[in-house]
Chain A
Amino acid sequence: MADEKKFAGYICTGCGIGERLDAGQLETIATRDGKMQSCRQHEMLCSKEGVQTIRDDIANEGVTHIMIAACSRRAKVEAFNFTEVAMSRANLREGVIWVRPDTDENRETTQEMADDYIRMACAEVKFMTQPTGSGEQELNKQILVVGGGITGMTAALETAAAGYPVHIVEKSGVLGGHAGGYYKSIPTRSPYAEPQDTGISQMIADVEANDSITVHLNSTLARTEGAPGRFNAEIATESGSSETLSFGAIIQATGFKLYDPSALPQYAYDKSADVVTNEELEGLVMQADGGPIKRPSDGKAVESVAFVQNVGQNSTEENELPYHSGIGDMIAIKQAMYFKELNGNCDTTILFDNLRTPGAAGEDFYRAGQQKMITFSKGAVTEVVPGSTLEVKFKDLILNDDATMQCDLVVLDVGMMPNTGPDPYAQLAVEEAEDEAEKEKARALLENAPPSILNLEYRQGTDLPHLKYGFTDSHFICFPYETRRTGIYAAGPTRRPMDMRQAADDAAGAAMKAIQAAENAGKGRAAHPRSGDLSFPSFRKEGCTQCKRCTVECPFGAINEDEKRYPIFNEARCRRCGTCMGACPVRVISFENYSVDTVGQQIKNVEVPEEWDEKPRILVLACENDAYPALDQSAMNGVEITQWARVVPVRCLGSISLSWITDSLNNGYDGIVLMGCQKGEDYQCHFVKGSEMGLERMSKVGDTLQTLNLEPERVASYEVAITDIQRAPKLINDMAETVQNIGMSPFKF
């Protein structure tokens, strides 16, 4: 980085900016107030010539910091991509002219808004440095896959096919996982009418024949440490030997276990050998070896079979699964077809409550089952009576009748449970439980925690954090593979219940993410959602009080501690959310391009008019992931925003420093609106916990307001979705109304 800083401003007059605003005045503000050493106007800054002007200044004039006053920072990012300088953007288009009416009486306040955004952008860029990466980055293309079932093998094959070497660590002595013991699988190809070959043997053969894939059977991970690009994993075998290898990224594909129906006596699972789970049936079919399927008790070929669906699933009862695995009905159809294939004219009845055969493929398979004369009865099974023929008692839910049927074999549709390690936050859950009952539950979870799988040497626990019911945490829709440990991707039924085809798709997705993570780590760039960002948090050690807030609050377990309990930031594990920065009570954490100052100075440089001018100022801190784009969208739709608002994008609500709030209140702002993503179990927060941490922190703003003797309504925080294009502006306008009602802040100097 050049020692000498040189600041240049660029004001675009295109897109109607020039017509609506006095560009000359903006230029004066940029040079006089904003202290830009030069400032140029251009009628279309994003055009080739416009961009070239900037490039020329950087090349010939030694410009190091640029302020672009044009459209939103989310627009024209390709045109304004100057990696060698620090850059800020004043949002005159979406932020000002598009949200204000073009009328004479509004001209003055619209110009004032624009003036402020110029001041803010100038102040921001002054406190920024162009990030260059940590220098610790390493490119390690080797990928570790934990688990050798369908998911693991698919991930390995996909990774290898993309040219990256893979190691599979499999606990058991064979590859194939559950599916290795299945007769056939649910069809994945049109016409979706017959069970098809599982493809497992072929897949195992492919893995074994692939030079880029190394398989470690009877092996587990004894220890994993490091960060993306430089994970070191100790692979231990059952025999006691071990070796440590390094990897760029990790895929956890540890699959599932099945619910044990012994807990439900009404199904007589423990009393009769002829009551089996759907997975055990696969075993019986394999044993039959192409002949008729025989029942376990006496080896009689099965002449009638009942499939009892939804056993111990989707339930509110204690000891049953609160969720449904979603694929049991497709499995039942598949297995009923086994009997039609192998047992002649066998009666097959599927007793279901809600038949789940999703998608066109599911519908076709269901129809195929009906064509093959599988009987589908909507009935709730109340009891299975053991005996030489079994009696199944059920309530016929269509005819509202109590009914019974006799059969040779009963197959129970039991649900899938994730095979994950202990939740790193189980201890925290006990501590944070709100009442005794909840504490009790949390404690039970902690005590019955499964053994570790990854054995991570992270300050925040040995394994991937859970979301619910033991499944690993990831955003279900937006970034499904991205766990809360950067560079470690979960795939398959360890993430959510799924079938073989979905698991294979999932594995391919996770493989791509793992490759991307390894590549990014090699360049020192952030992963999702700030992908490409080279900045990373650092802290001023002299100021640190070793309070641990940062290590506790980091949603991604990126920060370890040294012996003296100072934080160690692992930049490759960091997602750049800034939650640590917002958490630090002594404000010693910062990024090169984002810090307490880059935002704090924007707040300070807004002109706050005297009280009697009756021009309030409302500070809006909007999360850049959802709230800020929502505001851009509403601007595009011409939704008005009050002329008193000044919007500052932040990385995450979690990054908001309390000092920004206190400072703005002290500086005479009349209201503050905070907008972040939805928190909680069904969170939308791109940093998983950031929004929750931030909102939690903001709940303490009340004290500040009290000491200043200010009304609590002056600060409001909201969860805003990217689709809230009417609501987001309204929340800001509501604050203007609130201020109107309670009056201006007395703190204007």
Chain B
Amino acid sequence: MAKKEYSFYPGCSSQQGASSSNMQKSVETMCEELDVTLNQIPDWNCCAASIGYGGGGELPRLTLSARNIALSEQHNTGQDIVATCAACWLATREAAERFHEDDGLMAETNQALAEAGLKLKNETPIRHMVEVLIEDIGYDTIGGKVQRPLEGLKIAGYVGCQTNRPFGIAGESFENPMYLDKLVETLGADPVKNYDKKVQCCGGALAFSEPEKSQDMIKTIIESAYDSSADMIVTPCPVCQMNVEIYQDQINQRHNTKFKMPVVYYSQLMDVAFGRSAKDSALDQQVIKAGKLEALAKK
């Protein structure tokens, strides 16, 4: 298989010592296995995610993404931009679309970029890593790489909001996307059928500012996984992963529950299934240990 190269936009939370550095690690391992090269956009900046709007108005906010795309077009010419974080992907792709629709904005953002000698052509597709897996690599190839089928694991595929809406993955429905379940199946595990909270909002950034309201929603996501006797939850989204994983203690305190539900990334599942170690799969970075997956990784 020919080596695939992409212009990679990791985003702030994937940096070393940041909240989804575990995803970053596991994605790196996954890409090694799949023969995919990720070329970081040099000197990329934050995209403002979906909470930057308070301080940043339309143009400053979109200009953040404009700078990233411009850098990518300059240094990683011809390569699709790929993001692993849903918020990064969304913000960047949204910015690109807005610039396509609004010539005025496009002109203004270029005026701003010119201050640092940059220029936005806006000709680059902005893609999510999941799209790369499904569209460029395919379930068959992924299945073919499985050396250690995840037999006996029951996994609730939690897609969440922003990987799913408003763009989503081509051919999937907003209300019940199936790709994560298909991926789980491809890796030899048992996906939870009809996982009730598959696309439930976890509160996103409001998990910080409105913790109680958000945790009430997170509680339903975990509860529903328990109801379908899942061993763990898998998600493609770092915000989802963090929100659903790290507040379980607080929820337990407030609601008298005994939640201890591991929440992992699809990339971690893939790494283990591809035969890699727990460390390569960043399982050591779980706040709630994914015991069954670790056990498999040791076999």
Are A and B direct contacts in the complex by CB distance below 8 Å? no
Query: Contact residues of B with A, CB < 8 Å?
Result: none
